[in-house]
Structure 1
């Protein structure tokens, strides 16, 4: 296929050829009517009308040179048309094409009031250049607050760090003390047991003494009744027996007290062992609790550090920088304007990465593939550039439009679709810096 205007151009050339042939024929007819066969004018013909009436008029033969010129002209036009068709069928072109490029919209990342705008429309900007300033005072205060919270969290973390070793040492001391208490209680039980056994020995000894004293009383009583022994001696024996009986009772009471002390010592031993078990069981838990507190303090410090970093980021966002180099296509921000996060303030057009979006008819891309060379005519510059087909389209323009066609319903009329082909400019050409997105171009792709 050829250019969109090829059918119209061919028809126009044919009409021109027809008009030229018609004009030549009319000139020949005029020349025939203006002269006789012998080349005399019409006035002389009237004067010699008598002679001519006597001789029959012969038709004038066309000049052989004119005939040759006409045939040669037709052949030249036919050969030229054939050569033009043979040449034109190797190219596909369209005038439905524009220069395309990346357009970056700069938007505010934080809310604030615009206090300065450093660029104007159609001004060149470099990547990283500050173009808009927002009022930073609120974010400076947020940074100071976040920094104070971080210092407080770090201080609490430092204060909590020694608690783990302190708790570990305390737990070890408590375990040792519990062991000492157990040993002391065991010694107390052993001492009380010995005291009890000694009290039992004293009871048995007192009982033996009391039994002897009672036997003395029983032995002296008949003698005293017969006055064979002095009454004072008998009374002494009775008193000794009474004293021995009292000693028995006292020793028995002491043994009972010693037994209670044994029971009390055993109870203290059981309590000491229970306490030691609780201390041994609670020591790891107390250490774990302190370690959890330390981790909690560390987490709080980390969160405060993240809040400080976010506050610093928000403060840095008060200076809006352009991420790419290009030309400011539209300026939206004005001094005193309040902007919200995501609100566009500038529109920057990149000039270092331009291409052509050419919308060819679907019948034109039959032999078109990526990599084929192209010639691009830019209307605004009246200049041609070299390029190549970078990629073929993924879908037609109607499919990717906002409202794609729905051919499954209603009447269907077949329409030739257009598909956007991307054509890339070759680097190193003069005039590439003058190209702008949106310029109309006419690309011609060599498909064979």
Structure 2
């Protein structure tokens, strides 16, 4: 007995139904907007610090090792302080010497008014003597004309007058010099004080240089990439190790620009960590000001005539929600997957009614 025609066609109907369903699903994925945008081009990162000495010297000890946890202010390494201690001692000695010179200059300034007063008194004394000598010379001149006085006495009185006149002028010059010397002494005193200020700055710099021989952790974190050993002679600025602030890690998720249509700061993010197969919660911190290619050392040149349009990726910054114990497992460089719940927010419309950037922090 022959089988019905319909029963022999049902595999084609099933296959056709599966094909139609597949096409519908693909078209829905492509054209139907979704409130959740996902990427696996995401990594754990942090602004870490490369530890380098601010002065040169020989390393006499290294207090930490790779992967060691440190706290702010902990000594990481120590340079030989002897040269810097000697420089500090020398700077302090120079400061003490110049302070003594300031005291001497101040004493000279304080003494000078008395010398001026003494010179003034000498001028007044000679002025009085000069008045008497002029009167005496006039008297002898009159006596000489009448024949009552001798020529010798007249000449002597004139000589005395000339001598007192010269002494009076010299005393006046000394008085003016004493007054001018006061200005000079004040200037020297001020210069000595300024020199002490310079010496104090040099002492402070020498103290800083000595303190720089102890290289300390700038914040809490974990040591990595240690490449220094006791006995090494290192120049200023040479990288010794890195300190990574483990508690300040964040996610850099590189989303395609077309996926950011509804993304803005404050939206919740689901984070899956590949290393431990765990899930964490985060928040969109900000959308960057430029794509990753814009900050590349060799920026793409699109004006050469062979331009090919490529969808760019922007590194969206995602911060972790506080209070997640599993976040302590994260390490810089881990690969993660992020899914932003955008809620299909109308970013364009929001920006149209705002003078501030709605996608910036």
- TM norm. shorter chain > 0.5: yes
Aligned to 2:34: 89
Alpha-carbon distance, 1:193 to partner: 1.3
1:342-421 to 2 correspondence within 5 Å?
342-421=237-316
Matched, 1:151 2:46: no
Distance 1:324 1:146 in 2: 32
Task: Classify the secondary structure of the residue corresponding to 2:294.
Answer: coil
Alpha-carbon distance, 1:267 to partner: 2.9
Distance 1:301 1:311 in 2: 15
Q: 1:283 aligns with which of 166, 169, 178?
A: 178
1:249-264 to 2 correspondence within 5 Å?
254=150, 256-261=151-156, 263-264=158-159
Q: Summarize the Cα distance change of 1:99–1:195 in structure 2 as closer, same or farther, 3 Å threshold.
A: same
**Structure 1 stretches (4+) deviating beyond 6 angstroms?**
none
Aligned to 2:326: 431
Matched, 1:165 2:110: yes
Task: Classify the secondary structure of the residue corresponding to 1:102.
Answer: coil
Q: Summarize the Cα distance change of 1:82–1:350 in structure 2 as closer, same or farther, 3 Å threshold.
A: same
Aligned to 2:204: 309
Alpha-carbon distance, 1:122 to partner: 0.7
Distance 1:111 1:406 in 2: 42
Deviations 1:110-150 (A, max 9, x none): 11111111111111011100011111122222222222222
Decide whether the 8 Å contact of 1:101 with 1:437 is kept in 2: yes
Aligned to 2:226: 331
Decide whether the 8 Å contact of 1:178 with 1:279 is kept in 2: no
Task: Classify the secondary structure of the residue corresponding to 2:66.
Answer: coil
Distance 2:53 2:96 in 1: 30
Aligned to 2:75: 130
TM-score (normalised: structure 2): 0.84
Higher helix share: 1
Alpha-carbon distance, 1:200 to partner: 3.1
Task: Classify the secondary structure of the residue corresponding to 1:323.
Answer: coil
Which structure's CA Rg is the greater one? 1
Decide whether the 8 Å contact of 1:356 with 1:422 is kept in 2: yes
Distance 1:187 1:58 in 2: 166
Task: Classify the secondary structure of the residue corresponding to 2:141.
Answer: helix
Distance 1:92 1:264 in 2: 117
Structure 2: stretches of 5+ with no match in the other structure: 345-361
Aligned to 1:229: none
Deviations 1:2-45 (A, max 9, x none): xxxxxxxxxxxxxxxxxxxxxxxxxxxxxxxxxx4xxxxxxxxx
Matched, 1:200 2:145: yes
Aligned to 2:353: none
Alpha-carbon distance, 1:201 to partner: 3.5
Task: Classify the secondary structure of the residue corresponding to 2:58.
Answer: strand
Aligned to 2:236: 341
Distance 2:99 2:159 in 1: 53
Distance 1:394 1:61 in 2: 62
Aligned to 2:87: 142
